[in-house]
Amino acid sequence: MRDWRNLGVEGHFAARRPWLTYAERLAPALARLIGAGPQEVAVMNTLTVNLHLLLVSFYRPAGERTALLIERRAFPSDRYAAESQVRLTGSIPARDLIELGAAWTARTACAPTTSWPRSSATGRGSRRCCSLASST
Ligand SMILES: Cc1ncc(COP(=O)(O)O)c(C=O)c1O
């Protein structure tokens, strides 16, 4: 923080730990964390930006394969990213963005789900949410 305050943009080069090279410095630790090689990981961007990049690269709706699946009650920026990527491809969110899992209702609010926020839900809990949701 001191470097940020004193150096501003110069911190890219002059900070004690220059932020220009943070990606290289963090890669070995990230690789260990996920069981990858240091050359197989990239530390970059925010989660939402990375989600957009992932979807731009891999979400290629064609023919009958147009659906993009996302958990119901996903983190809001995740859902916005998914929806905007569906729109970007000319697909229709109401048809092609499929949200899986329990609906958010007062009845399901207390039941464990596998969606955001994360819980230690069991499969049984998730099925209960689905049946509650479908009965509302
Ligand atoms: C599941 C999930 N998605 C998206 C975000 C947003 O992350 P970012 O601000 O890096 O885009 C968060 C942040 O906590 C998150 O937990």
Model pLDDT for residues 72-109, shown as the tens digit of each residue: 999 999 999 999 999 999 999 999 999 998 765 554 44
Please say whether the beta carbons of 101 and 115 come within 8 A. Answer: yes
CB 113 within 8 A of CB 129: yes
Supply 107's token pair.
């009845």
**Spatial distance between the Cα atoms of 131 and 4, rounded to a whole number of angstroms:** 52
Q: What is the pLDDT of residues 17-62, one digit of tens each?
A: 999 999 999 999 999 999 999 899 999 999 999 999 999 999 999 9
Ligand 1 pocket member 19 (CB < 6 A): no
- Sequence spans of domains, the chain: 1-44, 45-100, 102-136
Its pTM stands at 0.65
Q: Is 71 in the pocket of ligand 1 (CB under 6 A)?
A: no
Distance (Å, rounded) from C-alpha 135 to C-alpha 10?
Answer: 59
Greatest distance between any 2 Cα atoms in the chain: 61
